[in-house]
Amino acid sequence: MLFSSVSFLYVFLPAVLLVYGLVPKKWKNHVLLASSLLFYFVGEPIYVLLLIISSLSDWLHSLYIENHRGEKSAKIALVSSLVINLAMLGFFKYADFLLTTVNDLFGTSIPLTKVPLPIGISFFTFQTMSYTIDVYRGDAKAEKNLATFATFVCLFPQLIAGPVVRYTDISTELHERSVCMDDLYIGVKRFVRGLARKVLIANAMGEFCSLYREAAEPSVVFAWLYAIAYALQIYYDFAGYSDMAIGLGRMFGFKFPENFDSPYRSKSITEFWRRWHMTLGGWFRDYLYIPLGGNRVPKARWLLNIAVVWAATGIWHGAAWNFVLWGLYFGALLVLEKLFLGNWLKKLGAVVQHIYVIFTVLVSFVIFNARSLPQIGQDLGRMFGAEGIPLWSSETGTRLSGYFLLFFAAVLFVTPLAEKLIAVMRRKSLGRGIIAVLEPVLIAAAVITVTGFLVDGSFNPFLYFRF
């Protein structure tokens, strides 16, 4: 089930909010667990068993680890838990990728499994793995109550597309939480903001990308516009979904970690990755990069660590070589920045730094969105006039004029301008008065407009489902 669907907005959410609000405190986790399983069942009727098995496995392993702390068997239990999680992920997500690669390399014809990818498997396996590791390390106490633990794993606001919430982030709230007017206000605002970002901007940018793919008259400018549109689509899509998740969590009394912090304002790729998909970056840092030795190792080993972490980051996003390339591309940029590029750029000033980030990120998302390795070459080549395509075409003009305001709005909202304006307004009493009137009106208008788009629209993909 998508958050940006009529069945979620007008059936599931009101029903869950109503029941959750009515039941006594001790039943609230059970309501959340049952509704989360239903939420997953709607999208994946069979794979809901996988979710249950995963929860049960990690709950049992962690209890064992806690009861045998310091013993060798605790380590064996940890390894067993990780193997089960990684085997699940490996089979459902990477088996066919591996088989295809083997077939391509050796000319074999090993049949593919053709097993469909369970929605959100990369998210929930990473969450459960971090929990077991935290219990092993002593950073978290093993949860005794299976229902409470399963509520953490299955919690529908963050189940299928993150943020990658760790048990330690919400362990207190899993046992004791309350919802006040402030939580509801912040939750509603955040949820509606995410909904509008996803439905009004990301979907429209996605349509523009489709128009580029179908273009009869591609041009260099059209290729760049496509790159910009896709970078905006993926940001508004994923950041919008994270907003919705964080907002929903807040409505039920959970404070999920932030996942995006205006990444396109960054002045380096290092900074970009501190602002983009922060919970995943944090996961790889704490559970892979640092255990590998981080940067406190000889240079050659450090370079290997970077390569491993970024190849893993890339392939986490999808079982295809373009994702591996995308991850390694960022790994290489990060290494270069640490070695010399970062200092060079600082000397050149903020404008050059921003141009560098925008350029490298646009290139990265062209790689990310390619359907095959040859298409990476084609898409990037077109941005620089390959295939003899013209600089401009009448179709480019037609499409740009149709989407100009959307581009303008989408770019405007990734700059700090709107936030600064609101901050200035909040300092004056007149400004606060205007906000008091405008905010409810804008939120209601956003819900109504989004509903209009949902009721009439058929174009509502969600990019991060495949991860």
Partner 1 sequence: MEKTLKRTVVVLFFLLIFGLSLAHILLPDTEISVSERRYLDTFPEITASKVFSGRYFTELEAYLLDQFPLREEFRTVKALTEFYALDMGETGGIMLSEGHLLPVEAVFHEGQAALAVEKMNDIVETCLDGEAYLAIVPDKGYFLGEETPREIISYVTEGVHARYIDITDLLSLDDFYTTDSHWRQENILPLARELCRELGVPVVPAAGYSRADCGTFYGVYAGQSALPCAPDAMAYLVSGGTENALVHSIETGDMAVYDPAAIGNVDPYDVFLGGPQAVVTIENPNAVSDRHIVIFRDSFASSLAPLMIDSFREITLVDLRYVRSDLLGEYVDFENADILFLYSTSMLNTASLLK
**Which of 43, 90, 342, 431 touches partner 1 (CB under 8 A)?**
43
Query: For partner 1, which is the closer residue by CB, 80 or 449?
Result: 449
DSSP letter string, 233-288: HHHHHHHHHHHHHHHHHHHTT--PPP--S-GGG-SSHHHHHHHSSHHHHHHHIIII
The reply on whether position 402 binds partner 1 by CB under 8 A is yes
> What is the distance between the alpha carbons of residues 298 and 255, in angstroms, rounded to a whole number?
39
> What is the distance between the alpha carbons of residues 304 and 456, in angstroms, rounded to a whole number?
50
Smallest distance from partner 1 to CB 464, Å? 19
Phi and psi of 224, rounded to 5°? -70, -40
Q: Pick the closest to residue 188 from 415, 446, 460, 465 (CA basis).
A: 446
Angle at 276 between CA 404 and CA 136, to 5 degrees: 155
DSSP letter string, 47-102: THHHHHHHHHHHHHHHHHHHHTTTSHHHHHHHHHHHHHHHHHHIIIIIHHHHHHHH
Residue at 314: amino acid letter: G
Convert residues 428-447 into a mask of x (bound to partner 1 by CB under 8 A) and - (unbound). Answer: ----xx-xx--xx--xx--x
Q: Pick the closest to residue 143 from 109, 168, 112 (CA basis).
A: 168
- Which of positions 165-184 make contact with partner 1 (CB under 8 A)? 181-182, 184
Smallest distance from partner 1 to CB 191, Å? 8
Residue with tokens 């100009």: 404
What residues contact residue 298 under an 8 Å CB cut-off, 6+ apart? Answer: none
The reply on whether position 459 binds partner 1 by CB under 8 A is no
**Which of 147, 449, 465, 466 touches partner 1 (CB under 8 A)?**
449
The reply on whether position 9 binds partner 1 by CB under 8 A is yes
The reply on whether position 104 binds partner 1 by CB under 8 A is no
Residue 317 appears among annotated catalytic residues: yes
- Which of positions 60-99 make contact with partner 1 (CB under 8 A)? none
> What is the distance between the alpha carbons of residues 17 and 102, in angstroms, rounded to a whole number?
49
**Which of 6, 102, 115, 411 touches partner 1 (CB under 8 A)?**
6
321, 373 Cβ separation under 8 angstroms: yes
Residue at 338: amino acid letter: K
**Binding piece for partner 1, criterion CB under 8 A, among 95-103, 104-112, 188-196, 368-376:** 188-196
**Binding piece for partner 1, criterion CB under 8 A, among 6-14, 54-62, 91-99, 220-228:** 6-14
List 30, 68, 317, 354, catalytic entry: 317
The reply on whether position 148 binds partner 1 by CB under 8 A is no
**Which of 150, 164, 165, 192 touches partner 1 (CB under 8 A)?**
192
**Binding piece for partner 1, criterion CB under 8 A, among 36-44, 261-269, 310-318, 348-356:** 36-44
462, 241 Cβ separation under 8 angstroms: yes
The reply on whether position 113 binds partner 1 by CB under 8 A is no
Query: For partner 1, which is the closer residue by CB, 14 or 349?
Result: 14
| Rg value, the chain, Cα | 23
- Site for partner 1 (CB under 8 A): how many residues? 51
The reply on whether position 451 binds partner 1 by CB under 8 A is yes
CB atoms within 10 A of CB 61: 26
The CB-side HSE value for 158 (13 A sphere, CA atoms) comes to 31
The reply on whether position 42 binds partner 1 by CB under 8 A is yes
Binding footprint of partner 1 on the chain (CB under 8 A): 1, 5-7, 9-11, 13-15, 17-18, 42-46, 181-182, 184-185, 188-189, 192, 200, 204, 216, 401-406, 432-433, 435-436, 439-440, 443-444, 447-449, 451-457
Provide the annotated active-site residues. 317
